[in-house]
Amino acid sequence: MKTLSFIEDIGRRSPRFDAPDKARGKEKFASDLYPENLLWAGALRAGIPHGEIRSIIVDRALSMAGVHAVLTRKDVPGPNRQGFVYWDMPVLCGKKVRHAGDAVALVIAETREILAKALESIQVDISPLPVVDSIDAALSDQAPKVHDLTTGNLLKAATITKGDPAVLATCDILLEEYFSTPVQEHAYLETENGVARLDKEGILHLIVSTQAPFRDRLEIARALGLDPGKIHITAPYLGGGFGGKDGATVQCLLALAALHAKGRPVKMWWDREESMVAGYKRHAARMHYCLGAKKDGELVALKCEIDYDTGAYAHLGVEIMALGLEHAAGPYRIPNMEAKGRCIYTNNPIAGAFRGFGVAQVSFAFEGMMDRLALKLNMDPLALRRKNALIRGDKNCADITMTHSTGMAECLLRLADHYLWTDRGKWVAAAPRFKRRGVGISAVFNGMGYGHGLPDYAVAKVRLTQSGTIRVYNGVSDMGQGNASTFVQMAVEILCQDRENMELVQPDTDRTHPSGSSSAGRTTYTYGNALIKACTALRDKLCNRAALMLLMDDARGFAMVPGAVRHLATGKEISLAALAAIMHPEDRLCVADHLMVTTPEMPQGGEAFSLGFPHLIYPFAAHLARVEVDELTGGVCVKDYLAFTDGGRVLNPQTFEQQVQGAVAQGIGYALCEAVQTTQSLISTRDLSTYILPTSLDLPDIQSHCVETIEHSGPFGMKGIGEVGLNGPLPAIGSALIHAGLPMNRAPFTPERILAALQGQADKKKEPPCR
C-alpha cells in the first residue's frame, strides 16, 4: 500500500490499521495457530436435549492408538460451573444433560481423524426426560424442571412501572397485538476455537477467539479450581463475535485438556455444526402489547408482557430481559408504562448475548404498534413518530431522564427530507405486475454500556518504545468492529504521529490491563476515554522531558510533531528516538483508567436486576426500507435501505458506516430468512445451507448517514453504535409490509408466511390473554 503522508487524525475517513494484514492473509486469528507438536481436543455432545446420564463408557476410546486422554465430569478439578451471574452451566455434565449441545466427555488425540473416531466410540447412556421445548411447555404445571429452581423453569420475572399504567383503559385509542421473534445464530465465519498449553512453571497459556479475555481468566479459574494468577490469555483479532464469543465457549474445555496434555499444546476448534449445536443464540421472544394513545397520536400508556426463552442456561438472559423492559415502549415520550418480563429455562439451545441484546426483539413490537396506531389514526407514520420522539429533558419509558445526547428527533427529521421517503408514493405506485411495494420506517435506540450495577471501566496503556515508536496496549478485544484501529487513530490525534510510527498490542492478560468485554456498544467509548487520558499524560510527559533535554524552563511552548517534540518558538526539536534513549523504560509508559457514568435514577421495579439496568446514554437511529413483495412466491426483497444514526461525533466515517451497514445486514437477515429451527429442542438447521445467511444478492446497497450530536461524556464526543443498527431493519421491513397491506406479527417474514398473509390468513397465533 502507498504510504499515506497525512496524519490520520480524528474525524478522517481513514483506512483501518488492521486492514492491510487482513487483506494479505497475514493476520493470525486464533484458528490460524498450529503450534508444533500439537494435540487436538474435542467434546462429545449429549445429542439428547434432556436426560439423566446413566453411564459413559470410554474404554474403547482410551485404548485407541493416538488417544491421550478421555475426560469426564470426575476429571474436572473444580466446581465445574460456568456462567455470568448464574453459575448454572457445567463444563462437563455429570448427572444431567439440559440441551443437546451439552458436553459430556472431552477427548485429547494426536490428530483430528483419531479425535473424531474416539468421540464416536464413546458409549453414553442417557435416560431421556420429558423435553421442555417451548415457553408454554416450560411454564405448564406439569413441566419437568430444567434446573432445580423453586420457581420451576422461571429463571426471573420482573415488572417495570412508570406513572399510572391503569390509565390505559381510559385511552381514546387502544390497540392490542402479539408479536414473536425467532432464534438467531451469530454465524461468525470463524467458529469458536483456541489453543492452550501448560508450561513448566505451571502457567496455563490460552490463545482464544474471545470477546472477554480478562473475564475468561476468572471463569476458567473458578470452574476448574485454579489460581487465576496462573492463567494467561491472549485474544488476537476475532473472525467475528457479535456477542456469541462473550462467555464460555472453548475456554474451560481447552484449559482442562491442557492440564492433561503433559505440556503439549492443545487445539480445539468447533466445526460449523458444533458451533450451531453448542454455541449461543439470540433469545426467541414472544410479546403481548397493549398501547393507548390520544386521538391526535400522543402516546399515553403501554402495558406489555415479554417472555424470553433463554434455553438450557442463563448466560446473560436476565440482563437481556432487563434491556427488553428498559426499551419496551421505544424511543418515545410515554408517561405511563407497565412492562412485565419473564426469562425462562427450556431445553432449547442456549441463548445469550447478541448484538441488539434484548432490544432487537422489543423493537419489532413497539414499532409494530406505532405503525398500527398510524393506520388507525390515518396519520403519517413518520409524523406520529416525530410527535412522540424523545428529546433532551424527557423521561424515557423506563423513567430515565434524557440528560445526554438525544438525536432521535433529528434522525427522523433527516429521514423525512430524504428522497427515498418523499418519493415513496410514486415508487409504490410503479410496482410491476404481481409485485406489491411498501415503504417502511423505524425509530430505535439501544442503551450503551454495562448499565447500573456493574462498573463499566477500562485501563488504557500507551508507551514510547525504545526505538521511538508509540505503542498502544489495547485491552478490549477487536471482534471486527475496528475499535483497535480507532484506538490508534485516537493516539495519532493526541500525539500527532504518522500511522507508520504506531504499534498496537492486542488484549493479553500479561501485557494489557483489564478493560472489560468487547460488548454493549462500550468498547470504543470506555477504553477510548481511558486512552485519551493516557495519551494526554504521555504527551505532557514527553514535552516535559524534551524541555529538560533542550534546557528550557518547562514544557510550555512545546508540541508534538511527527517523530519528534518541537519547541515552537525556537524550532528546536528532539526526536522521539532520542527522547526514548534518555528516558527510563518505566518513565516511557502512561496508564490511565476510565469509569463510565451511570444514572442515579432507578425505575420502580428495577431493583429486581442486580446489574445491567438501567442505562444513561443511548444511541438512536431512524431507518427506512423500500420493500417489494412477490405476490406469486411470497418472496420479500429489500430494494433500498437507509439509516440515520445518532452516535454522537463520528471519529471515522468509514468505520461508522461499516458498523451500521453490518448491523443492518444482520438485521435484514433477522427479518427475512434467519431462524434456528428446532424439533423437540433438537436443532435441524445445522449448517449454512439450512440456516440461511443473506448473500451479496440478498441485500441492497445500504445508505448510512450520521446525525452528529455531541456526547459530552464520550471520547471526542462519540457514543457506541455497534448495537443500535441491528434493531432497525426488522421493524422497518415490518412497517413496509403493513403499509403494503400485509401486517406481520411473526418474524422472520418467510415466503410461506407472506403467502399466507396475501391469502388473507391472519398472522396471529392464539395467545393467552393479558396476565
Partner 1 sequence: MQIKFTLNHQPVTLEADPSMRAIDLLREHCGLTGPKEGCSTGECGACAVWINGVTRLSCLMLAAQLQGQSVVTVEGVNPDSPDTLHPVQEAFVNCGAVQCGYCTPGMIMTAAQLLACERTPSRERIREAISGNLCRCTGYHKIVDAVEAAAQAMDREIS
CB of 252 to partner 1, least distance (A): 23
- Would you count residue 701 as binding partner 1 (CB under 8 A)? yes
CA dihedral 687, 245, 347, 724 (to 10 degrees): -90
Closer CB to partner 1, residue 480 or residue 714?
A: 480
- Would you count residue 581 as binding partner 1 (CB under 8 A)? no
- Euclidean distance between CA atoms 472 and 530, whole angstroms: 12
Give the residues across from 712 on adjacent strands. none
Q: Which stretch binds partner 1 (CB under 8 A): 50-58, 530-538, 539-547, 659-667?
A: 659-667
Sign of CA dihedral 267, 273, 277, 283: positive
Classify strands 266-269 and 39-45 as parallel, antiparallel or unpaired: parallel
- Euclidean distance between CA atoms 241 and 245, whole angstroms: 5
Preceding amide of 381 cis, omega within 30:
no
Classify strands 39-45 and 103-109 as parallel, antiparallel or unpaired: antiparallel
CB atoms within 10 A of CB 661: 18
- Would you count residue 238 as binding partner 1 (CB under 8 A)? yes
Using DSSP's 3-state secondary structure scheme, residue 377 falls into helix
Q: Name which position in 662, 717, 728, 748 contacts partner 1 (CB under 8 A).
A: 662
Q: Name which position in 211, 512, 655, 745 contacts partner 1 (CB under 8 A).
A: 655
Closer CB to partner 1, residue 400 or residue 733?
A: 733
CB atoms within 10 A of CB 57: 13
- Would you count residue 521 as binding partner 1 (CB under 8 A)? no
- Euclidean distance between CA atoms 693 and 749, whole angstroms: 14
Q: Which stretch binds partner 1 (CB under 8 A): 52-60, 232-240, 579-587, 733-741?
A: 232-240
If you compute the radius of gyration of the chain from its CA atoms, what whole number of angstroms results?
27
- Would you count residue 640 as binding partner 1 (CB under 8 A)? no
Q: Which stretch binds partner 1 (CB under 8 A): 94-102, 235-243, 255-263, 380-388?
A: 235-243
Q: Name which position in 75, 658, 685, 758 contacts partner 1 (CB under 8 A).
A: 658
- Would you count residue 666 as binding partner 1 (CB under 8 A)? yes
The contact mask relative to partner 1 for 191-230 (x = CB under 8 A, - = no) is x---------------------------------------
- Would you count residue 10 as binding partner 1 (CB under 8 A)? no
Burial of residue 26 (number of CB atoms within 10 Å: 0-12, 13-18, 19+):
exposed
Q: Are 245 and 236 in contact (CB under 8 A)?
A: no
CB of 704 to partner 1, least distance (A): 8
Q: Are 742 and 437 in contact (CB under 8 A)?
A: no
Closest CA to 531 of 577, 484, 477, 580: 484
Q: Name which position in 695, 752, 760, 771 contacts partner 1 (CB under 8 A).
A: 695
Element containing residue 485 per DSSP (H, E): helix 483-495
Closer CB to partner 1, residue 376 or residue 686?
A: 686
Q: Name which position in 188, 445, 450, 487 contacts partner 1 (CB under 8 A).
A: 188
**Interaction residues for partner 1, span 451-510 (CB under 8 A):** 479-482
Closer CB to partner 1, residue 185 or residue 711?
A: 185
CB of 674 to partner 1, least distance (A): 11
Give the residues across from 37 on adjacent strands. none
Q: Name which position in 237, 345, 357, 609 contacts partner 1 (CB under 8 A).
A: 237
CB of 765 to partner 1, least distance (A): 30
Q: Which stretch binds partner 1 (CB under 8 A): 48-56, 685-693, 743-751, 755-763?
A: 685-693
**Interaction residues for partner 1, span 253-282 (CB under 8 A):** 271-272
Q: Which stretch binds partner 1 (CB under 8 A): 67-75, 156-164, 540-548, 654-662?
A: 654-662
CB of 353 to partner 1, least distance (A): 16
Q: Name which position in 84, 242, 345, 749 contacts partner 1 (CB under 8 A).
A: 242
- Name the residue type at position 321: M
For partner 1, how many residues bind (rule: CB under 8 A)?
A: 56
Cα three-residue angle 456-457-462, rounded to 5 degrees = 155
- Euclidean distance between CA atoms 462 and 448, whole angstroms: 25
CB of 242 to partner 1, least distance (A): 8
Give the three cell numbers for residue 423.
418519493
Q: Name which position in 661, 681, 709, 745 contacts partner 1 (CB under 8 A).
A: 661
- Euclidean distance between CA atoms 124 and 144, whole angstroms: 22
138 Cβ neighbours under 8 A, 6+ residues apart: 132, 146, 152, 153, 154, 309, 344, 345, 346
Using DSSP's 3-state secondary structure scheme, residue 513 falls into coil
- Would you count residue 651 as binding partner 1 (CB under 8 A)? no
Q: Which stretch binds partner 1 (CB under 8 A): 60-68, 78-86, 114-122, 696-704?
A: 696-704
The contact mask relative to partner 1 for 14-53 (x = CB under 8 A, - = no) is -xx-xxx-xxxxxxxx-xx-x-------------------
CB of 698 to partner 1, least distance (A): 9
758 Cβ neighbours under 8 A, 6+ residues apart: 629, 631, 634, 742
- Would you count residue 689 as binding partner 1 (CB under 8 A)? yes
- Name the residue type at position 763: D
Closer CB to partner 1, residue 239 or residue 407?
A: 239
* Greatest Cα-to-Cα distance within the chain, rounded to the nearest angstrom: 86
Q: Name which position in 673, 699, 756, 758 contacts partner 1 (CB under 8 A).
A: 699
CB under 8 A, 24+ apart: contacts of 541-546? 541/587, 541/590, 542/464, 542/576, 542/579, 545/579, 545/582, 545/583, 545/587, 546/574, 546/579
- Euclidean distance between CA atoms 70 and 313, whole angstroms: 25
Closer CB to partner 1, residue 503 or residue 698?
A: 698
Q: Where along the sequence are the contacts to partner 1 (CB under 8 A)? A: 1-2, 15-16, 18-20, 22-29, 31-32, 34, 186-191, 237-242, 271-272, 479-482, 654-655, 657-658, 661-662, 664-666, 687-689, 693-697, 699, 701-702
